[in-house]
Structure 1
Amino acid sequence: MQKKNTGLLIWGGVGTGKSFFAGCIANALMEREVPVCMTNFARILNELNNSFSGRNEVVERLCRYPLLIIDDFGMERDTNYALEQVYNIIDSRYRSKRPLIITTNLTLDEIRHPQDVAHARIYDRVLEMCVPVSCFGTSIRKDTAQEKLNNLKSLIG
Protein backbone atom coordinates (compact mmCIF):
# COMPACT_ATOMS: atom_id res chain seq x y z
CA MET A 1 0.00 0.00 0.00
CA GLN A 2 2.89 2.34 0.71
CA LYS A 3 4.49 1.72 -2.69
CA LYS A 4 1.22 2.40 -4.50
CA ASN A 5 0.20 5.28 -2.21
CA THR A 6 -3.03 3.55 -1.25
CA GLY A 7 -4.74 4.73 1.90
CA LEU A 8 -7.98 3.89 3.66
CA LEU A 9 -11.13 5.88 4.29
CA ILE A 10 -12.69 4.10 7.26
CA TRP A 11 -16.26 5.33 7.62
CA GLY A 12 -19.27 4.41 9.70
CA GLY A 13 -21.34 5.20 12.74
CA VAL A 14 -20.15 6.35 16.14
CA GLY A 15 -18.50 3.65 18.26
CA THR A 16 -18.09 1.05 15.50
CA GLY A 17 -14.32 0.61 15.94
CA LYS A 18 -12.92 2.89 13.24
CA SER A 19 -10.32 4.56 15.46
CA PHE A 20 -9.43 1.22 17.06
CA PHE A 21 -8.90 -0.32 13.60
CA ALA A 22 -6.70 2.59 12.51
CA GLY A 23 -4.78 2.40 15.81
CA CYS A 24 -4.13 -1.32 15.27
CA ILE A 25 -2.61 -0.53 11.86
CA ALA A 26 -0.48 2.21 13.44
CA ASN A 27 0.72 -0.11 16.21
CA ALA A 28 1.61 -2.87 13.76
CA LEU A 29 3.66 -0.46 11.66
CA MET A 30 5.38 1.10 14.69
CA GLU A 31 6.36 -2.40 15.86
CA ARG A 32 8.24 -2.58 12.53
CA GLU A 33 9.79 0.81 13.34
CA VAL A 34 7.75 2.67 10.72
CA PRO A 35 6.96 6.18 12.00
CA VAL A 36 3.22 6.91 12.11
CA CYS A 37 1.32 10.02 13.21
CA MET A 38 -2.27 9.56 14.39
CA THR A 39 -4.05 12.82 15.06
CA ASN A 40 -7.21 14.76 14.24
CA PHE A 41 -7.89 18.14 12.66
CA ALA A 42 -8.82 19.76 15.97
CA ARG A 43 -5.28 19.04 17.22
CA ILE A 44 -3.73 20.05 13.90
CA LEU A 45 -5.64 23.36 13.88
CA ASN A 46 -4.54 24.05 17.47
CA GLU A 47 -0.95 23.29 16.52
CA LEU A 48 -1.17 25.57 13.48
CA ASN A 49 -2.56 28.39 15.64
CA ASN A 50 0.14 27.94 18.31
CA SER A 51 3.08 27.28 15.99
CA PHE A 52 6.01 29.62 16.41
CA SER A 53 7.91 28.06 13.52
CA GLY A 54 5.08 28.66 11.07
CA ARG A 55 2.30 26.76 9.38
CA ASN A 56 4.53 25.42 6.61
CA GLU A 57 6.71 23.62 9.16
CA VAL A 58 3.66 21.90 10.68
CA VAL A 59 2.41 20.78 7.26
CA GLU A 60 5.87 19.63 6.16
CA ARG A 61 6.29 17.61 9.36
CA LEU A 62 2.94 15.85 8.81
CA CYS A 63 3.96 15.02 5.23
CA ARG A 64 7.25 13.44 6.32
CA TYR A 65 5.54 10.55 8.13
CA PRO A 66 5.35 7.37 6.05
CA LEU A 67 1.74 7.12 7.30
CA LEU A 68 -0.56 9.86 8.55
CA ILE A 69 -3.81 8.86 10.23
CA ILE A 70 -6.46 11.54 10.62
CA ASP A 71 -9.12 10.49 13.10
CA ASP A 72 -12.67 11.89 13.19
CA PHE A 73 -12.39 13.65 9.82
CA GLY A 74 -15.32 16.01 9.28
CA MET A 75 -15.79 16.80 12.97
CA GLU A 76 -13.64 19.95 12.83
CA ARG A 77 -15.24 23.40 12.93
CA ASP A 78 -16.86 24.29 9.65
CA THR A 79 -15.26 27.70 9.20
CA ASN A 80 -13.49 29.06 6.14
CA TYR A 81 -10.20 29.02 8.04
CA ALA A 82 -10.65 25.39 9.14
CA LEU A 83 -11.64 24.27 5.63
CA GLU A 84 -8.60 26.04 4.18
CA GLN A 85 -6.29 24.27 6.62
CA VAL A 86 -7.94 20.88 6.06
CA TYR A 87 -7.51 21.38 2.31
CA ASN A 88 -3.88 22.42 2.82
CA ILE A 89 -3.05 19.27 4.83
CA ILE A 90 -4.92 16.88 2.51
CA ASP A 91 -3.47 18.51 -0.61
CA SER A 92 0.06 18.50 0.81
CA ARG A 93 -0.27 14.84 1.67
CA TYR A 94 -1.68 14.19 -1.82
CA ARG A 95 1.28 15.93 -3.44
CA SER A 96 3.79 14.11 -1.22
CA LYS A 97 2.40 10.80 -2.57
CA ARG A 98 2.32 9.22 0.87
CA PRO A 99 -0.54 7.11 2.18
CA LEU A 100 -3.22 8.45 4.45
CA ILE A 101 -5.79 6.73 6.64
CA ILE A 102 -8.90 8.71 7.53
CA THR A 103 -11.64 7.74 9.96
CA THR A 104 -14.97 9.54 9.74
CA ASN A 105 -18.61 9.48 10.75
CA LEU A 106 -19.49 11.04 7.40
CA THR A 107 -21.32 8.69 5.07
CA LEU A 108 -19.77 7.66 1.79
CA ASP A 109 -22.69 9.39 0.06
CA GLU A 110 -21.86 12.68 1.87
CA ILE A 111 -18.24 12.37 0.75
CA ARG A 112 -19.16 11.50 -2.83
CA HIS A 113 -21.72 14.33 -3.05
CA PRO A 114 -20.30 17.30 -1.09
CA GLN A 115 -22.40 20.36 -0.29
CA ASP A 116 -20.06 22.89 -1.91
CA VAL A 117 -16.87 23.40 -3.90
CA ALA A 118 -14.66 23.80 -0.81
CA HIS A 119 -15.65 20.36 0.46
CA ALA A 120 -15.56 18.88 -3.07
CA ARG A 121 -11.88 19.86 -3.46
CA ILE A 122 -11.01 18.04 -0.24
CA TYR A 123 -13.21 14.97 -0.70
CA ASP A 124 -12.13 14.45 -4.32
CA ARG A 125 -8.50 14.09 -3.22
CA VAL A 126 -9.46 11.83 -0.31
CA LEU A 127 -11.42 9.51 -2.61
CA GLU A 128 -8.50 9.29 -5.04
CA MET A 129 -6.00 8.53 -2.27
CA CYS A 130 -8.09 6.27 -0.04
CA VAL A 131 -10.09 3.07 -0.54
CA PRO A 132 -13.42 3.27 1.36
CA VAL A 133 -13.92 0.67 4.10
CA SER A 134 -17.20 0.65 6.02
CA CYS A 135 -17.61 -0.11 9.72
CA PHE A 136 -21.16 -0.97 10.72
CA GLY A 137 -22.80 -2.25 13.86
CA THR A 138 -23.89 -1.05 17.24
CA SER A 139 -21.76 1.29 19.25
CA ILE A 140 -19.13 -0.57 21.24
CA ARG A 141 -19.36 2.24 23.80
CA LYS A 142 -23.09 1.64 24.29
CA ASP A 143 -22.44 -2.07 24.78
CA THR A 144 -19.68 -1.29 27.30
CA ALA A 145 -21.90 1.18 29.16
CA GLN A 146 -24.70 -1.41 29.36
CA GLU A 147 -22.26 -4.02 30.66
CA LYS A 148 -21.08 -1.61 33.38
CA LEU A 149 -24.69 -0.86 34.33
CA ASN A 150 -25.49 -4.57 34.56
CA ASN A 151 -22.39 -5.13 36.73
CA LEU A 152 -23.45 -2.29 39.04
CA LYS A 153 -26.98 -3.70 39.31
CA SER A 154 -25.60 -7.10 40.29
CA LEU A 155 -23.37 -5.50 42.95
CA ILE A 156 -26.23 -3.47 44.42
CA GLY A 157 -29.02 -5.98 43.93
Structure 2
Amino acid sequence: MECHLCGGRGLILRGKKAYLCPVCRQQRLRQRILSLSQLTSQMRDYTFDRFDFRFYSPYIRDGSKGITYCESAKRAVEAAKAFVRDFLSGKAEEGLIITGAVGSGKTFLACCIANAVLEGGREVLFLVVPDFLDQIRASYDEEGGFTEQEILAMAKTVPLLVLDDLGAFIYSEWARQKIYSLLDYRLNHRLPVVVTTNVALEDLEELLGERTISRLIALCRPYRLLVEHDIRMIMRQEKEAGR
Protein backbone atom coordinates (compact mmCIF):
# COMPACT_ATOMS: atom_id res chain seq x y z
CA MET A 1 0.00 0.00 0.00
CA GLU A 2 1.42 3.35 -1.04
CA CYS A 3 1.98 6.04 1.56
CA HIS A 4 -0.86 8.56 1.57
CA LEU A 5 1.58 11.44 2.06
CA CYS A 6 4.34 10.78 -0.45
CA GLY A 7 2.94 8.07 -2.71
CA GLY A 8 5.80 5.74 -1.80
CA ARG A 9 8.60 8.10 -2.85
CA GLY A 10 9.87 8.61 0.69
CA LEU A 11 10.12 12.35 0.08
CA ILE A 12 7.66 15.22 0.24
CA LEU A 13 8.26 18.16 -2.09
CA ARG A 14 7.46 21.64 -0.82
CA GLY A 15 8.44 24.26 -3.29
CA LYS A 16 12.07 23.64 -4.19
CA LYS A 17 12.81 21.64 -1.04
CA ALA A 18 12.41 17.93 -0.39
CA TYR A 19 11.67 16.55 3.08
CA LEU A 20 11.76 13.01 4.38
CA CYS A 21 8.24 11.62 4.69
CA PRO A 22 7.49 11.19 8.42
CA VAL A 23 5.06 8.32 7.78
CA CYS A 24 7.58 6.35 5.72
CA ARG A 25 10.35 7.05 8.22
CA GLN A 26 8.20 5.77 11.07
CA GLN A 27 7.38 2.64 9.07
CA ARG A 28 11.05 2.03 8.29
CA LEU A 29 11.89 2.46 11.96
CA ARG A 30 9.19 -0.03 12.93
CA GLN A 31 10.47 -2.57 10.41
CA ARG A 32 14.04 -2.13 11.58
CA ILE A 33 13.17 -2.50 15.26
CA LEU A 34 11.05 -5.56 14.53
CA SER A 35 13.98 -7.09 12.66
CA LEU A 36 15.87 -7.06 15.98
CA SER A 37 13.22 -9.10 17.70
CA GLN A 38 14.45 -12.44 16.41
CA LEU A 39 10.85 -13.59 16.43
CA THR A 40 11.72 -15.95 13.60
CA SER A 41 9.34 -18.06 11.54
CA GLN A 42 10.13 -20.94 13.90
CA MET A 43 9.36 -18.80 16.96
CA ARG A 44 6.06 -17.81 15.37
CA ASP A 45 5.11 -21.47 15.86
CA TYR A 46 5.65 -21.25 19.64
CA THR A 47 2.09 -21.32 20.91
CA PHE A 48 0.43 -22.31 24.16
CA ASP A 49 -0.94 -25.53 22.72
CA ARG A 50 2.64 -26.59 21.89
CA PHE A 51 4.05 -25.95 25.35
CA ASP A 52 5.21 -29.41 26.45
CA PHE A 53 5.00 -30.14 30.18
CA ARG A 54 6.85 -33.44 29.83
CA PHE A 55 10.14 -31.57 30.23
CA TYR A 56 9.17 -30.53 33.77
CA SER A 57 9.48 -33.15 36.48
CA PRO A 58 6.27 -34.11 38.38
CA TYR A 59 8.47 -35.44 41.21
CA ILE A 60 11.31 -32.98 41.86
CA ARG A 61 10.22 -30.04 43.98
CA ASP A 62 11.17 -26.39 44.04
CA GLY A 63 12.93 -26.04 47.37
CA SER A 64 11.65 -22.52 47.99
CA LYS A 65 7.95 -23.11 47.19
CA GLY A 66 7.52 -26.81 47.82
CA ILE A 67 5.78 -27.48 44.50
CA THR A 68 7.02 -29.73 41.71
CA TYR A 69 8.77 -28.44 38.63
CA CYS A 70 5.70 -29.42 36.60
CA GLU A 71 3.35 -27.55 38.94
CA SER A 72 5.58 -24.49 38.75
CA ALA A 73 5.51 -24.63 34.93
CA LYS A 74 1.72 -24.99 34.90
CA ARG A 75 1.38 -21.94 37.14
CA ALA A 76 3.59 -19.92 34.80
CA VAL A 77 1.64 -20.97 31.70
CA GLU A 78 -1.73 -20.25 33.30
CA ALA A 79 -0.45 -16.83 34.41
CA ALA A 80 0.76 -16.17 30.85
CA LYS A 81 -2.64 -17.12 29.39
CA ALA A 82 -4.43 -14.93 31.94
CA PHE A 83 -2.14 -12.04 31.08
CA VAL A 84 -2.96 -12.36 27.37
CA ARG A 85 -6.70 -12.37 28.12
CA ASP A 86 -6.36 -9.30 30.33
CA PHE A 87 -4.14 -7.50 27.85
CA LEU A 88 -6.46 -8.08 24.91
CA SER A 89 -9.41 -6.83 26.98
CA GLY A 90 -7.49 -3.76 28.14
CA LYS A 91 -7.28 -4.89 31.76
CA ALA A 92 -3.62 -5.91 32.10
CA GLU A 93 -2.15 -4.01 35.04
CA GLU A 94 0.97 -6.14 35.50
CA GLY A 95 3.31 -8.03 33.22
CA LEU A 96 5.36 -11.13 33.96
CA ILE A 97 9.00 -11.85 34.69
CA ILE A 98 9.88 -15.44 33.89
CA THR A 99 13.05 -16.76 35.52
CA GLY A 100 14.88 -20.04 35.03
CA ALA A 101 18.10 -21.64 33.87
CA VAL A 102 19.27 -21.67 30.26
CA GLY A 103 17.10 -24.07 28.27
CA SER A 104 14.14 -24.05 30.66
CA GLY A 105 11.56 -22.75 28.17
CA LYS A 106 11.50 -19.07 29.13
CA THR A 107 11.82 -17.73 25.60
CA PHE A 108 9.30 -20.28 24.33
CA LEU A 109 6.72 -19.08 26.86
CA ALA A 110 7.44 -15.42 26.10
CA CYS A 111 6.90 -16.19 22.39
CA CYS A 112 3.59 -17.89 23.26
CA ILE A 113 2.49 -14.62 24.83
CA ALA A 114 3.74 -12.51 21.92
CA ASN A 115 2.09 -14.73 19.31
CA ALA A 116 -1.23 -14.83 21.16
CA VAL A 117 -1.22 -11.03 21.38
CA LEU A 118 -0.43 -10.73 17.67
CA GLU A 119 -3.23 -13.16 16.85
CA GLY A 120 -5.50 -10.95 18.92
CA GLY A 121 -4.69 -8.05 16.61
CA ARG A 122 -2.55 -6.06 19.04
CA GLU A 123 0.98 -4.78 18.58
CA VAL A 124 3.89 -6.35 20.43
CA LEU A 125 7.64 -5.78 20.23
CA PHE A 126 9.89 -8.74 21.09
CA LEU A 127 13.45 -7.63 21.86
CA VAL A 128 16.53 -9.62 22.79
CA VAL A 129 18.10 -7.21 25.26
CA PRO A 130 21.80 -7.53 24.26
CA ASP A 131 20.92 -7.06 20.56
CA PHE A 132 18.70 -4.09 21.36
CA LEU A 133 21.49 -2.34 23.27
CA ASP A 134 23.89 -3.04 20.40
CA GLN A 135 21.43 -1.40 18.01
CA ILE A 136 21.32 1.74 20.15
CA ARG A 137 25.13 1.89 20.19
CA ALA A 138 25.26 1.45 16.43
CA SER A 139 22.93 4.42 15.96
CA TYR A 140 25.71 6.74 17.16
CA ASP A 141 27.80 5.96 14.06
CA GLU A 142 25.04 5.96 11.45
CA GLU A 143 24.70 9.20 9.54
CA GLY A 144 21.13 9.75 8.43
CA GLY A 145 20.00 6.61 10.27
CA PHE A 146 17.58 6.32 13.13
CA THR A 147 18.56 8.07 16.32
CA GLU A 148 18.80 6.65 19.80
CA GLN A 149 15.73 8.66 20.76
CA GLU A 150 13.68 7.16 17.92
CA ILE A 151 14.73 3.60 18.73
CA LEU A 152 14.01 4.00 22.44
CA ALA A 153 10.70 5.73 21.75
CA MET A 154 9.46 2.69 19.85
CA ALA A 155 10.31 0.37 22.75
CA LYS A 156 8.86 2.78 25.31
CA THR A 157 5.51 3.29 23.63
CA VAL A 158 4.63 -0.05 21.99
CA PRO A 159 1.50 -1.51 23.66
CA LEU A 160 3.31 -4.67 24.79
CA LEU A 161 7.07 -5.02 25.15
CA VAL A 162 8.81 -8.37 25.60
CA LEU A 163 12.40 -8.20 26.86
CA ASP A 164 14.17 -11.51 26.34
CA ASP A 165 17.46 -12.37 28.07
CA LEU A 166 17.61 -9.52 30.55
CA GLY A 167 20.68 -9.88 32.74
CA ALA A 168 22.56 -11.97 30.18
CA PHE A 169 25.82 -10.05 30.66
CA ILE A 170 27.58 -7.46 32.81
CA TYR A 171 25.98 -4.07 32.26
CA SER A 172 27.84 -0.80 31.96
CA GLU A 173 26.41 2.30 33.58
CA TRP A 174 25.32 3.40 30.11
CA ALA A 175 23.35 0.17 29.56
CA ARG A 176 21.86 0.36 33.04
CA GLN A 177 20.56 3.84 32.33
CA LYS A 178 18.93 2.80 29.04
CA ILE A 179 17.10 -0.09 30.69
CA TYR A 180 16.08 2.06 33.65
CA SER A 181 14.74 4.78 31.34
CA LEU A 182 12.75 2.20 29.37
CA LEU A 183 11.19 0.52 32.40
CA ASP A 184 10.54 3.80 34.20
CA TYR A 185 8.62 5.18 31.22
CA ARG A 186 6.50 2.07 30.86
CA LEU A 187 5.73 1.99 34.59
CA ASN A 188 4.67 5.64 34.61
CA HIS A 189 2.48 5.15 31.52
CA ARG A 190 1.01 1.83 32.68
CA LEU A 191 2.37 -0.10 29.71
CA PRO A 192 3.04 -3.78 30.51
CA VAL A 193 6.29 -5.67 30.04
CA VAL A 194 7.08 -9.36 29.82
CA VAL A 195 10.66 -10.21 30.81
CA THR A 196 12.75 -13.38 30.71
CA THR A 197 16.00 -13.82 32.60
CA ASN A 198 18.28 -16.64 33.68
CA VAL A 199 19.40 -14.56 36.67
CA ALA A 200 17.66 -14.93 40.02
CA LEU A 201 15.71 -11.84 41.04
CA GLU A 202 17.87 -11.32 44.10
CA ASP A 203 20.96 -11.20 41.85
CA LEU A 204 19.51 -8.85 39.23
CA GLU A 205 19.82 -5.88 41.55
CA GLU A 206 23.60 -6.20 41.53
CA LEU A 207 23.58 -6.20 37.72
CA LEU A 208 20.99 -3.51 37.06
CA GLY A 209 20.82 -1.38 40.20
CA GLU A 210 18.21 -0.82 42.90
CA ARG A 211 16.14 1.75 40.97
CA THR A 212 15.72 -0.50 37.95
CA ILE A 213 14.80 -3.58 40.00
CA SER A 214 12.27 -1.54 41.97
CA ARG A 215 10.50 -0.65 38.73
CA LEU A 216 10.76 -4.17 37.39
CA ILE A 217 9.10 -5.57 40.51
CA ALA A 218 6.36 -2.95 40.24
CA LEU A 219 5.78 -3.88 36.58
CA CYS A 220 5.91 -7.68 36.72
CA ARG A 221 4.79 -10.69 38.73
CA PRO A 222 7.52 -13.36 38.99
CA TYR A 223 7.23 -16.97 37.82
CA ARG A 224 9.83 -19.74 37.53
CA LEU A 225 10.49 -22.50 35.02
CA LEU A 226 12.61 -25.28 36.50
CA VAL A 227 14.12 -28.21 34.61
CA GLU A 228 16.61 -30.98 35.30
CA HIS A 229 18.20 -30.73 31.86
CA ASP A 230 18.42 -28.19 29.05
CA ILE A 231 15.30 -28.72 26.92
CA ARG A 232 17.22 -27.94 23.74
CA MET A 233 19.70 -30.70 24.54
CA ILE A 234 16.89 -33.18 25.17
CA MET A 235 15.22 -32.30 21.88
CA ARG A 236 18.53 -32.62 20.04
CA GLN A 237 19.10 -36.07 21.54
CA GLU A 238 15.57 -37.14 20.61
CA LYS A 239 16.07 -35.90 17.08
CA GLU A 240 19.37 -37.78 16.73
CA ALA A 241 17.82 -40.95 18.16
CA GLY A 242 14.94 -40.74 15.68
CA ARG A 243 17.16 -40.70 12.62
Question: 5 Å matches for 1:8-157?
Answer: 8-51=96-139, 52-111=145-204, 114-115=205-206, 119-137=209-227, 138-151=229-242
More strand by share: 1
- Contact 2:130–2:165 at 8 Å: present in 1 too? no
Structure 1: runs of 5 or more not aligned: 153-157
Q: Which AA in structure 2 matches 1:150?
A: A
Greater relative contact order, per chain length (Cα 8 Å cut-off, separation 6+)? 1
Distance 2:206 2:161 in 1: 26
CA contact (8 A) 1:41 1:76 kept: no
Detail structure 1 runs of 4+ shifted over 6 Å in the superposition. none
Relative to total residues, which structure has the larger helix share, 1 or 2? 1
**8 A contact 2:128–2:165 mirrored in 1:** yes
How many residues in Structure 1 have an aligned counterpart in Structure 2?
149
Q: Percent identity?
A: 30
Q: Secondary structure at the match of 2:151?
A: helix
1:37-56 CA distance string (max 9 Å, x none) = 00122222122123333222
Q: Distance in 1 between matches of 2:177 and 2:188?
A: 16
Shift of 1:76: 4.0
Aligned-pair Cα RMSD in Å:
1.9
Q: Which has the larger radius of gyration?
A: 2
Deviation of residue 77 (structure 1)? 4.2
